[in-house]
């Protein structure tokens, strides 16, 4: 039996036992020098969402949104001090329940916000 086949069989019980509806919605947020996408980020209020922050650049960046993370209920992942730190090419995942509102986000590294690393998060 091939390794791929073993892996597929091992994953089968999990796939059957986890209904799709129970999974939080997913949203990928791309990070690069110098920008974020999507722009703005739109999320559903009061619904769990898994945010994947994908740093596509060879530089460190962060996604700082103190009010957004501060008013959200964080279910999984780390957004300590209202920011997600990303090393070069790193991806970090945060699952949270956002509260309705419009929030700002930016990279706190020197000058990066001015160069285009700012965004808005609209939760409705």
Whether 80 contacts 66, CB under 8 Å: no
Output the smallest distance, CB 27 to Cu ion, in A: 20
Question: Pattern 33-72, binding to Cu ion, x per CB under 5 A?
Answer: ----------------------------x-----------
How wide is the angle at C-alpha 64 spanned by C-alphas 112 and 123, nearest 5°? Answer: 120
Which span (8-16, 38-46, 84-92, 102-110) binds Cu ion, by CB under 5 A?
A: 102-110
**Residue length of the chain:** 124
- Binding-site member from 112, 119, 121, 123 for Cu ion (CB under 5 A): 112
Residues near 121 by Cβ (< 8 Å), separated by ≥ 6?
Answer: 40, 41, 42, 43, 65, 68, 98, 102, 103, 104, 105
Q: Which is nearer to Cu ion, 79 or 117 (CB)?
A: 117
Q: Look at residue 6 and give its three-state secondary structure.
A: helix
Residue 107 touching Cu ion (CB under 5 A): yes
Q: Which is nearer to Cu ion, 56 or 109 (CB)?
A: 109
Binding residues for Cu ion (CB under 5 A): 61, 107, 109, 112, 117
């Amino acid at each position: 039996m091939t390794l791929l086949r073993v892996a597929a069989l091992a994953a089968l019980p999990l796939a059957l036992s986890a209904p799709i509806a129970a999974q939080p919605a997913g949203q990928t947020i791309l990070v690069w020098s110098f920008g974020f996408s999507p722009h703005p980020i739109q999320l559903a209020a009061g619904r769990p969402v898994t945010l994947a922050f994908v740093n596509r650049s060879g530089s460190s960046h962060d996604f700082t949104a103190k009010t957004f993370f501060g008013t959200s209920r964080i279910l999984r992942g780390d957004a300590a001090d209202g920011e997600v730190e990303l090393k070069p090419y790193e991806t970090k995942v945060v699952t949270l329940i956002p509260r309705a509102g419009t929030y700002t986000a930016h990279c706190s590294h020197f000058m990066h916000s001015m160069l285009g690393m700012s965004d808005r998060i609209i939760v409705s």
